[in-house]
Amino acid sequence: MLTDTTIRNTKPGQKVIKLTDGGGLYLEVTPAGGRYWRYRFRINGKESIHSIGEYPRVGLAEARRKRDDARDIVKQGTSPVLAKQQQKFAQQYENAQTFKAVAEEWFLAAPAKSKNGCWSDSYKASVRTLLDRDILPHLGAIPVRQINTPMVHQVIKRVEARQAATRAILARQIIGGVFKLAILTHRADFNVAEPLKGEIARRVVEHHKHLERADVGDFLRKLSDYTGHRTTSIALELLLQTAVRPGELCGAAWAEFDLDAAEWRIPAARMKMRKVHIVPLSLQSVALLRELKEITGHGEHLFPVQGTKAGTMPVATLRNAIVKLGYSDKFSPHGSRGTFSTTMNEAGYPPDHIEVQLAHSDKNSTRRAYNHARYLPERRKLLQDWADMLDGFMAGAKIIPIGRAA
C-alpha cells in the first residue's frame, strides 16, 4: 500500500516508475517529474488503462475512491474509459442546450439573416448589452426546454422598469429569435416569447421638432453669434445645409469627402438603409468644410471627441447647443431634415428629388439599388438652392417659393 511519504520521496528516474497501491491502482512517475494515477482493469480478458488524475491535485485517498468507482463500473461489464467519455459527451450536450449556448449561436448567425444582411455597429452593441446585462444573467444557465413564458416575462419587465420600454421590446425580440433557432435545432418545441408580443407598450414617439420657415433666419443669426466651440456651430450649419441625419454627420470621416468635386459619399455601413448615399455639397458647405479642415483635418473624423465610445461628437452636443440658443422647444437636430423637406416641397421642387436626398427607403428594389446616384445633377441644384435660401433667411430676405428643378 502506498503512502504520501513514499510518493513524495520517489524521485524521477531515466525511465517511467510505477508505484503500485493495490486493486489495480498505481502511480506513474515520468522522467519529467509528472505523477499520474492509473487504474489497470480487464474486460472480456482484454487489459485496459483508465486515467484517474494527476498527483497531488488528486490525492491518495481520492485516487482510491475513484479506483473503487471505476471497479464498480467494470463489474457491470462497462469500461470506465468509455463511461468517462460518455459522461464528457453528455456534459457537452447538456451545455449546448442552455439558453446561453443557443443565444451565442443566434448572435453570430442573426445579422446575416436580417433584412439588410447585416447589423449596424450600434444595433449590434445594443443587442450584446441586453444579452450580457439583462438576459443571460437570468436565463443563460437554464436549458432552453426548461424556460417558460413567465420567466421571460420577468426578464422583460425588469428592463421596462428602468423606463426603457423600447429596450424591453428588443429584449423580447432577442429571446424570441433565440427560441426560433432552438426550435430549428430541436432544442425547444415552442417559442415561449411569442405570447408576450404587445405586452410592452411602446413609448409614444414625439415627432422631431423642425424649424418653421419664419424661425429659420432668427435661428441662423443666433447661431452666427454662438459662443461655444466653432466645430459645434459648423456642425449645426452643415446639418441644415445637407439634410443628413445627425448621426451621419457627427460620425463623418474626412476620407468620405471630395471637396474639389463638392461631394460627400457616406458608406453603406453608416447609413440607416445600409446603402451608399451621395450628398452633393453646396458652395457654402464646401466653405464650411474647408474651415473645419483647418481645425480637425489632421485626424480621421470631422468632429473628434475624446472619451466617447465612438470617438466622435455625440448628437447630444448638438441638442445642448440648441438649448443654449433658446430653440429647444422649436427645434431638434433631426428636425433639420423636416425643415428642408417642408420648405423645398412648398417651394415646388420635385418630391422624388427631395426624398432621394433625404435617403428615405424606396420600395422599388430596382430603383433602390441605384439610389445613391439618382438625380445627382438635380440634387446638386436642389442643395445649392437650399443653401442660398438659408443665406437669404439669415439676411432677413423674404424668400418667394419659385424654385423648380431644371
Catalogue all structural domains in the chain, each as residue range(s) with its CATH number. Answer: 4-90 (3.30.160.390), 97-196 (1.10.150.130), 213-395 (1.10.443.10)
Q: What per-residue confidence (pLDDT) applies to 221?
A: 93
- The lowest-confidence range among 65-69, 94-98, 118-122, 250-254 is 94-98
For residue 156, which of 103, 194, 101, 119 has the smallest C-alpha distance?
194
Grid cell at residue 84: 468517462
Contact 351, 345 (CB under 8 A): yes
Catalytic residue numbers?
245, 272, 334, 337, 360, 370
Q: What per-residue confidence (pLDDT) applies to 405?
A: 43
**Cβ-based neighbours of 334, under 8 Å, separated by 6 or more:** 208, 245, 246
Share of the chain above pLDDT 90, in %: 53
The per-residue pLDDT of the chain, averaged, comes to 86
pLDDT tens-digit map of 341-391: 999 998 899 999 999 999 876 554 434 444 456 789 999 999 999 999 999
Contact 280, 380 (CB under 8 A): yes
Q: Is 77 exposed, middle or buried (0-12, 13-18, 19+ CB in 10 A)?
A: exposed
Q: Is the peptide bond before 56 cis (omega within 30 degrees of 0)?
A: yes
For residue 403, which of 377, 385, 391, 378 has the smallest C-alpha distance?
385
Q: What per-residue confidence (pLDDT) applies to 255?
A: 95
Question: Which H or E run contains 54?
Answer: strand 46-54
Q: Characterize the bridge pairing of strands 35-43 and 25-29.
A: antiparallel
Given a cut of 50, is residue 263 above it in pLDDT?
Answer: yes
Answer with the residue of higher pLDDT: 29 or 398. Answer: 29
Q: Which residue has the cell 448589452?
A: 129
Summarize the confidence of residues 15-25 as an average pLDDT.
92
- Distance (Å, rounded) from C-alpha 126 to C-alpha 170? 9
Contact 255, 261 (CB under 8 A): no
Q: What per-residue confidence (pLDDT) applies to 215?
A: 87
Given a cut of 50, is residue 168 above it in pLDDT?
Answer: yes
Contact 172, 159 (CB under 8 A): no
Q: What per-residue confidence (pLDDT) applies to 309?
A: 56
Helix 230-242 and helix 335-346, axial crossing angle in degrees, nearest 10: 40
Given a cut of 90, is residue 176 above it in pLDDT?
Answer: yes
Q: Characterize the bridge pairing of strands 17-22 and 257-258.
A: unpaired
Given a cut of 90, is residue 256 above it in pLDDT?
Answer: yes
Q: What per-residue confidence (pLDDT) applies to 386?
A: 94
Q: What per-residue confidence (pLDDT) applies to 368?
A: 43
Q: What per-residue confidence (pLDDT) applies to 362?
A: 55
Q: What per-residue confidence (pLDDT) applies to 315?
A: 87
Rg (CA), the chain: 34
pLDDT tens-digit map of 45-92: 888 898 989 999 999 999 999 999 998 988 888 887 787 777 776 565
Q: What per-residue confidence (pLDDT) applies to 274?
A: 72
Given a cut of 90, is residue 261 above it in pLDDT?
Answer: yes
Q: Is 402 exposed, middle or buried (0-12, 13-18, 19+ CB in 10 A)?
A: exposed
Q: What per-residue confidence (pLDDT) applies to 397?
A: 62
Answer with the residue of higher pLDDT: 161 or 385. Answer: 385
Strand order in the sheet with 35-43: 17-22, 25-29, 35-43, 46-54
- Distance (Å, rounded) from C-alpha 129 to C-alpha 42? 54
CA atoms within 13 A on the CB side of 237: 29
Summarize the confidence of residues 113-128 as an average pLDDT.
78
Answer with the residue of higher pLDDT: 120 or 65. Answer: 65
> C-alpha distances in angstroms, 70 versus 45, 52, 58?
17, 9, 15
* pLDDT band at residue 118 using 50, 70 and 90 as cut-offs: confident
Amino acid at site 7 = I
Summarize the confidence of residues 304-320 as an average pLDDT.
80
Q: Characterize the bridge pairing of strands 35-43 and 46-54.
A: antiparallel
* pLDDT band at residue 34 using 50, 70 and 90 as cut-offs: very high
Q: DSSP assignment, residue 11?
A: P
Given a cut of 90, is residue 193 above it in pLDDT?
Answer: yes
- Distance (Å, rounded) from C-alpha 276 to C-alpha 370? 9
**15-19 long-range contacts, CB within 8 A, separation 24+:** none
Share of the chain above pLDDT 70, in %: 88
